[in-house]
Amino acid sequence: MKPTGIESLDKILGGGIPAGWFVAMRGGAGVGKTTLGVQFLLEGILKYHEPGLLVTFNEPLLALNAIMRNYGWDLLSLQQMGELTILDFSSTEMGIMQQASRLREASLDYITQKIIDAVRNIGVNRLVIDPLNTFSLLFRDLFEVRKELHRVIGILWEEKCTTLAVYESTGEIVQDTKYPQFSTEDFLAYGVIHLQYVSISSARERGIEILKMRGMHHSKRIHPFEITSRGIEIDVDNPILFS
Ligand SMILES: Nc1ncnc2c1ncn2[C@@H]1O[C@H](COP(=O)(O)OP(=O)(O)O)[C@@H](O)[C@H]1O
Ligand SMILES: [Mg+2]
């Protein structure tokens, strides 16, 4: 068990995430997935000297860096210091590649190999893939997604590289105890963290729920969280109560 370094998250996780685990982090648009992912990498670097790897599919590095600087986080300088490796696959070529099947297979192999090489050669301890959807889109069918993800998850486990795989799910707004829909990625992952919008009366809050952490005593509640100038802060002691 290793603390993520985000104290309030460690509390609801029941201590942290075991080294080498592949954990899906799902949620709707703007709920805070990228923020939490980058925060996880930064805490690793700053508190534990654990080198990180950020794989960005949607947001180009420069745009992402500009946004993250609002939290006082400077991805480019960490990259220059060699503490953070960034693989930017956000170029518009990706969209074109996805349409041509031959190119699609080539790009898929290229991307997977780049990630595995970085994990093996640089020895990163923490990986964030943001989002996994774009990676999964490159596969012909769900069977292929499952097979390849299973292989990659196995390598990450062997290399003891703890992974948060961001997954864009529909932005469901929980009004009662409605159960979320699970995807292939959720079933393959050792753990699932769900970020969601919660509507209570007329107000809308952000909530975080640990849906799954194999064999661990984690919180089973939805905890409200806020995004502040320091990143994500979870209210551990006051879970959301549904009437
Ligand atoms: N400095 C800040 N203070 C408060 N909230 C912020 C700040 N920066 C961003 N946010 C909030 O974070 C949201 C985006 O979070 P992000 O991690 O990019 O979400 P996702 O990756 O899930 O789409 C914004 O819509 C905004 O509400
Ligand atoms: Mg995002």
Q: Which H or E run contains 239? A: none
Task: For tokens 């997604």, name the residue.
Answer: 145
Q: Is the model's pLDDT at 113 over the cut of 60? A: yes
Tell me the C-alpha to C-alpha distance, in Å, between residue 163 and each of 92, 119, 173, 179.
Answer: 25, 11, 26, 25
Atom number in ligand 1 closest to CA 35? 17
* Lowest-confidence segment of 74-83, 133-142, 161-170, 201-210 by average pLDDT: 133-142
Question: Percent of the chain beyond pLDDT 90?
Answer: 72
Q: Tell me the C-alpha distance between 158 and 160, whole Å.
A: 5
User: Which domains, and CATH codes, for the chain?
Assistant: 7-234 (3.40.50.300)
Q: How far, in Å, is the centroid of ligand 1 from the Cα of 86? A: 20
Q: pLDDT of 165-176, one tens digit each?
A: 999 987 666 655
Residue nearest to atom 23 of ligand 1 (CA): 30
Q: Which H or E run contains 109? A: helix 101-117
Q: Mean pLDDT for the chain?
A: 90
| pTM check: above 0.85 | yes
Residue nearest to atom 12 of ligand 1 (CA): 32
* Rg for the chain, CA atoms, rounded: 17
Q: pLDDT of 200-238, one tens digit each?
A: 778 889 999 999 999 999 999 999 999 999 999 999 999
Q: Which DSSP state fits 209?
A: E
Q: What is the pLDDT of residue 99?
A: 53
Q: How far, in Å, is the centroid of ligand 2 from the Cα of 28? A: 9
Ligand 1 site, CB within 6 A: 27, 29-35, 70-71, 227-229
Q: How far, in Å, is the centroid of ligand 2 from the Cα of 35? A: 7
Q: What is the pLDDT of residue 159?
A: 97
User: Which residues keep their CB under 5 angstroms from ion ligand 2?
Assistant: 33-34
Backbone angles phi, psi at 120, to 5 degrees: -75, -45
8 Å CB contact between 37 and 166: yes
Residue nearest to atom 9 of ligand 1 (CA): 227
Average pLDDT of span 133-159: 90
Q: How far, in Å, is the centroid of ligand 1 from the Cα of 196? A: 13
